[in-house]
Structure 1
Amino acid sequence: MIVSDPLGTGWRFPPEPAGDGTLDWQSGPALIRQSILLILDTDPGERVMRPDFGCGLRKYLMEPNTPATRAAIARDVDAALRAFEPRIVVTDVDVAPTDDPAVVLVSIGYTHVRDRSTDSLRVPLGLSGPTGGG
């Protein structure tokens, strides 16, 4: 049974049948987080019917972990979420270095449009490139 949620209900991704042959569903904040992660993990051109969809973070693979790279990542994340996830208002995107020079931490703050609740998501992003002044 699908329960109505003000933030929406949709298939869990990737879609695969549950033990009883039905599809698993996501709803509420989990559905929004799933959508954000899909946007971040998709490169423009990857979806044939929506060639502009996605964030394009793979282009930062092998880039140096510098303030300029982190600022560019933050701009791309902010622009992609504003363009492709209308159920949220992005309030903050911060990209910070971690103890591992080949990984940055992308922190996203947002407000759900429907119920005005706030949420956040933190996603590690591997750069695996040379490090620069940080």
Structure 2
Amino acid sequence: MEDTRAFLGRGFSFPPRLDQTTGRFVMCSAEEDIRQSIYLIVMTRRRERAMLPDFGCDVHNYVFGLPDDASLSMVRSEIVDALTRWEPRIINVGVQVDMSGLSEGKVVFSISYTVRATNNPNNLVFPYYLYEGVGLE
């Protein structure tokens, strides 16, 4: 089990924050690290990182289009391709895109995947807001 957890990794939580009691950065590990990595890959635009310009996903280019079958297929393909390339700890990636909230400026991504080391199926559902400042609580 220890080897599995080592493979799954440990990293800074996202967004980076300090623990109030210790003053150290909050870390995450194992499957939580994978979930945060998936979110980071999908939400980072390609060419956004100067030192790693191919990192990320160009899903942002497609969600502004009309919610037809072709654009939904392109969004799914873009996410699957990016996760397959940048997150080696997962396999069997599937993506569903719900654009029913598009008029309110929200698209919901449902990403299913299997953790390679443990063979555990997981899913991650998160809203993507098309406009800054929307969905803040």
Q: TM-score range by the shorter chain?
A: 0.7 to 0.9
For 1:27 and 1:75, locate their aligned partners in 2 and report how far apart those are by CA, in whole Å: 28
- Which one of 25, 28, 32 corresponds to residue 26 of structure 1? 28
For 1:50 and 1:121, locate their aligned partners in 2 and report how far apart those are by CA, in whole Å: 25
For 2:24 and 2:39, locate their aligned partners in 1 and report how far apart those are by CA, in whole Å: 24
Q: Which has the higher helix share?
A: 2
- In the superposition, the TM-score normalised over structure 2's length comes to 0.80
- In the superposition, the TM-score normalised over structure 1's length comes to 0.82
Contact preservation (8 Å) 2:84, 2:93: no
RMSD: 2.0
For 1:94 and 1:62, locate their aligned partners in 2 and report how far apart those are by CA, in whole Å: 17
Query: What secondary structure, in the 3-state scheme, does the structure 1 residue paired with 2:5 have?
Result: coil
Q: Which runs of 5 or more structure 2 residues have no equivalent in the other structure?
A: 132-137
In the alignment of these two chains, the number of paired residues is: 125
For 2:111 and 2:52, locate their aligned partners in 1 and report how far apart those are by CA, in whole Å: 24
The alpha-carbon deviation at position 127 of structure 1 amounts to 4.9
For 2:66 and 2:130, locate their aligned partners in 1 and report how far apart those are by CA, in whole Å: 7
For 2:81 and 2:39, locate their aligned partners in 1 and report how far apart those are by CA, in whole Å: 14
For 1:72 and 1:55, locate their aligned partners in 2 and report how far apart those are by CA, in whole Å: 12
Q: Which runs of 5 or more structure 1 residues have no equivalent in the other structure?
A: 129-134
The alpha-carbon deviation at position 95 of structure 1 amounts to 1.7
The alpha-carbon deviation at position 100 of structure 1 amounts to 4.8
Compared CA separation, residues 126 and 14, structure 1 to 2 (3 A): closer
Aligned to 1:122: 125
Contact preservation (8 Å) 2:80, 2:93: no
Structure 2 letter corresponding to 1:56: D
Aligned to 1:131: none
Contact preservation (8 Å) 1:89, 1:110: yes
Larger relative contact order (C-alpha < 8 A, sep ≥ 6)? 1
Contact preservation (8 Å) 1:42, 1:53: yes
The percentage of counterpart residues that share the same residue type is: 34
